[in-house]
Amino acid sequence: MRHQRAGKKLGRDAAHRKALYANLTCALIEHGRIRTTVTKAKAVKPIAEQMITLGRRGDLHARRQAVAFLRSKDVVHKLFAEVGPAFADRPGGYARIVKLGPRAGDAAEMAYLELVEGPVVFKTRLPVGAPEETVTEKAEEPEAEATEAEADAGEAPAEEPEPGPAPSEEAEPELEPAAEAEGDSPGAEASESDAKQ
């Protein structure tokens, strides 16, 4: 029985599985994004994030731990020189999984496992008694600052075109009413002659 043996087996023995995780993590650190199955991506994501946490620490012991798992000094150097410092301000959540749909050959669910880019956006909570009007006023202030910055730069803010007079109903061309009787249309005459023959 496999009691308290968490994690996916992926149809491999322990050594093969460990090598697979190391290779996928190295590829993710080296290229920034890899295409793999959803199951493998879910298994590798926490391992890759642990390696990036080691890269953020940056000390000698962390570097030795990373080399022991990843087995590639070039990838570890990139991890500690570029990837780790890039995520210095992000408190976790360094990778994301983007699902792509089934693979053509065997219909396995595929996904991108990629490193997150861009600045960290923290959600701020409003005070309990704050009215909603203050929130909308704060949201409108950056737009006003942007128009002032454009005016300072010498560029006039984009003006909205003035609405012209509404088109009158008399200007619209009148459509002729369709012929109601079947005998008035030429198609009806042709179908009657075909029926007689």
Give the confidence band of 141 by pLDDT, cuts at 50, 70, 90.
Answer: low
Residues facing residue 97 across a β-bridge: 113
In-domain check, residue 149: no
Whether residue 76 has pLDDT greater than 50: yes
In a domain? residue 52: yes
- In tens, the pLDDT along 93-130 reads 999 999 999 999 999 999 999 999 877 777 777 777 76
Q: Go through the chain and tell me how many residues it has.
A: 197
CATH number of the domain residue 86 falls in: 3.90.1030.10
Please name the residues in contact with 13: beta carbons below 8 A apart, sequence gap of 6 or more: none
Is residue 70 in some structural domain? yes
pLDDT at position 188 = 52
Q: How many domains does the chain have?
A: 1
Residue 160 lies in a domain: no
Residue 27 placed within a domain:
yes
How far apart are alpha carbons 13 and 86 in whole angstroms?
35
Q: Are 32 and 10 in contact (CB under 8 A)?
A: no
Residue-number span of the structural domain to which 95 is assigned: 14-115
The answer to whether 59 and 84 have CB atoms below 8 angstroms apart is no
Query: Looking at the predicted structure, is the pLDDT value of residue 189 above 60?
Result: no
Q: What is the mean pLDDT of residues 22-26?
A: 97
